[in-house]
Every structure is written in structure tokens, then in C-alpha cells.
Amino acid sequence: MPATKGRVGGSLDPTPTPSALAQVCYPSGVLAFDLSRLAGLALFAALLLASSDARAADAKTSSLSWLRMPGADACVATQPLARAVEERLGRAVFVSAAEADLSVEGHVEKRARGASSGWHAVITVRDASGATLGTRELDRADASCDAMTEPLALVIAVMIDPDAAMRPKPAPTDALPPGEPPPATGATPVTAPVGPPPPERPAPAPPPARDPWRFEAHAQATVNHGLAPTLAPGAGVQAILYAPKLPVGFRGYTTLFLPTEATRDGARASFDMLYAGGSICPTLRGRVNLLGCLGGHLGLLRPRAETANRGIREDVLLLWTAMAELRVHIPLVAPVGVAAGVGAGLPILRPELAYTRAGGGRETLHRPEAYVLTADVGLGFFFP
């Protein structure tokens, strides 16, 4: 009788077979995972990682130098063109020239040849050492340069990364709020009621223009009747300051007069006169400025005896006169203008100059009149 396998002297062989080991470790009859299948999965994962690393290594970077020639200002600019290329490649591509693997250089210009017109672009790609890898030219006959944007982005993307550039763009998807299920097919969407739009707030009114300080200055010729013995001509200056938002001017003036003479009973004296004054002038401003001024002036009247032994004293006489004036100021060509005015006044101080008559006794040689009349005309400047 042949010997039974696995038995020695009627007992079990101490060296178990693989199937026997499986039955011992897994009494339910489920076999252990096949080691050869596990090794195959590990090899496949390693190949996927290697392929991914290779594609990442091939993803080259580039710099972009883009120029719009005269007449092509309406064409795409550098930044929008770079965004269009990166959108087509699906990744960030452009870096500084010092870090880039490639350099893309191009320009676009308006083409005009006889009756035909359009756009012409030239694009060149170089490697990191500066060697030219390729040049492409692109022409379009469209009236608008916007038609060049998409072809330019495609050509540059292909020159940088042909595989990525030729992949179709991903379709845009509308994101749903977190936790909200997609709408059921065929269901009618329910639109929430929309209230009336909020009323538009009116734009704030621009601040009012600031009224500046205004200033006028004139050199003027003046005549005065009533203070000197005869009609006195003179010359002087005046200035007027207008405060912002006030229809009032503040006027100041001074006038020096030519000498005048008084003669009586053989006694003769000459007089020098100077006065300075100020007034407040309510004003109607326009192309012609009308002023009504109220004020007064203080003056000095200095006599000089022209005949001896007639008792004519040469003391300086003080004058004080209240004045009212009507004035007109006309701007000519900025900043030149003319001014004129007439006035009437009442002397408050009327000093008297006396002399000795030939037969004895004192007599008045000169005393200011009970009223004063003035007139002046001048040429000057106004600001602003």
C-alpha cells in the first residue's frame, strides 16, 4: 500500500502546506490578500507620481514683453493679455525675466495698405540663453483691434505650452451655497419677491466758490474847492479793499495840492495843502462798480507870508472835513481799470488866517468855506 502524503508513522506532517496555513489562520475559509496584487498596485501608484512630476517639470515659466505701436492704443494691453494666456493654460505662467525659462516678445501695429486696413502682430519666443525658438505673425482685417485678443492669447499659449494650450477651456459652473442641494430636474424655480430699489441719493452739491478778497489801487488827479483860497489842483493815490461776501469797500486816500495864494489890501500869502482820509463804500459790483462812500479826511494847511510886516503868521493850520462821495470804477483789461468820483463835504474845523491892515487892525486873509467840493479821476490796477 502506498504511503499517505503528509503523514509520518500515522501522525500529521509537522511542515504545513500554504492551504493548510490559510485554514489555520482563517478558519472561516477567507484567504489572505494576494501579495502579488498588492505589489502591482504599488507599482501603478509610483508610475502616476512619476508622470505627475514629469508634467510639473515640463510646466515652463515665461516673461512677457508687449508693445503697442503708435495707432494701436486700442489693442489689448500687457496685463489683460497675460491674464488671457494664463486662463487658457490653466495656471500661472508669467514671472520676471530673471526667473523665466522663456521670454515672449511681441508688438501689434495698425496696418494700412491702400484701401485695406487691419492689424498686424509679431510674436517671438526665446529661451533662457536668448536663442530664438520661434516667431509667429498674425494679421486681422477687422475694424476693431479687440478681434486680435483671443488669437494672440492662443498663439502665445501654444508657443509656451502646446499641450496645455490645446485643452478646451473648462466650462463655467455656478457655485451653489454650502449645504444646498441642486435643483430638481424640471422643477420651476421660485423667485423671491424683490422689493423696490432703494432711492438714489442725490449727488452732493459742489461747495460754493469762495469769494476772495479784492483790491484796487489808483493814481489820481484831484481838484478841491473850499479849503484853499482858490481852486486847488493836486495828485494822489487811493486804494480800496473789498471783504469776501460783503458788498462794502474800505477806501483810503491821500492827496498833495499845488500851492495857492490869497491877497487882500496888499497883503499876500501862499498856501500848501495836504490831506489824507478814509471812507466806507457800499458797492454795487458788476461790469461797472458803483460806490457810495461816507467818511472824511484830516489835512494840513501851511501858510507862507509873501509880504513883510503885515502880521501874517506861518503856523500850520489843521483841517477836518466830513465827506460824501459817488464813485464809479470800471475794469478795462485785467488788471487795469479806471476810477472817477465827485464829492461834497462839510468842514468841521475852519481855521482862520489873519493879517494887519495898512491902517491898523486885524482882518481875515483866508478861512475855508462852509462847504467843500471835490472831483478826481485815476488809472490803476485791480486784483483779482
62-76, 169-183, 212-226, 311-325 — which is least confidently predicted?
Answer: 169-183
36-40, 97-101, 204-208, 271-275 — which is least confidently predicted?
Answer: 36-40
Q: What is the pLDDT of residue 203?
A: 76
Whole-model pTM? 0.48
Q: What is the pLDDT of residue 170?
A: 56
Mapped onto helix, strand or coil, the DSSP state of residue 67 is strand
Higher pLDDT, residue 49 or 296: 296
pLDDT at residue 338 tops 60: yes
pLDDT at residue 142 tops 90: no
Higher pLDDT, residue 190 or 211: 211
pLDDT at residue 148 tops 50: yes
Architecture, CATH, for domain 62-165 = 2-Layer Sandwich (3.30)
CA dihedral over 329, 330, 332, 338, signed as positive or negative: negative
Q: What is the pLDDT of residue 223?
A: 98
Q: What is the pLDDT of residue 198?
A: 74
1-5, 84-88, 353-357 — which is least confidently predicted?
Answer: 1-5
Q: What is the pLDDT of residue 305?
A: 95
pLDDT at residue 50 tops 80: no
Measured between alpha carbons, how far is 353 from 21 in angstroms, rounded to an integer? 156
> Above pLDDT 70, what percent of the chain?
76
**Angle, CA of 187, 188 and 189, to the nearest 5°:** 110
Confidence of residue 35 (pLDDT cuts 50, 70, 90): very low
Q: What is the pLDDT of residue 44?
A: 52
Q: What are the sequence ranges of the domains in the chain?
A: 62-165, 214-383
Pairing between β-strand 62-68 and β-strand 116-127 as defined by DSSP bridges: unpaired
Most confident listed range (55-69, 145-159, 230-244): 230-244
pLDDT tens, residue by residue, 216-250: 999 999 999 999 999 999 999 999 999 998 899 99
Which segments within 4-157 are labelled E, that is strand? 7-8, 11-12, 62-68, 102-113, 116-127, 132-140
38-52, 134-148, 350-364 — which is least confidently predicted?
Answer: 38-52
pLDDT at residue 191 tops 90: no
139-153, 159-173, 283-297, 360-374 — which is least confidently predicted?
Answer: 159-173
Q: 58 phi and psi, to 5 degrees?
A: -80, -10
pLDDT at residue 49 tops 50: no
pLDDT at residue 356 tops 70: yes
pLDDT at residue 114 tops 70: no
pLDDT tens, residue by residue, 155-178: 998 888 887 666 666 555 454 455
Which segments within 332-371 are labelled E, that is strand? 336-349, 353-356, 362-366
Higher pLDDT, residue 329 or 204: 329
Q: Average of pLDDT values for 341-345?
A: 98
CATH 3.30.70.270 for the 214-383 domain, yes or no: no
**Angle, nearest 10°, between helix axes 78-89 and 149-160?**
60
Q: What is the pLDDT of residue 286?
A: 86
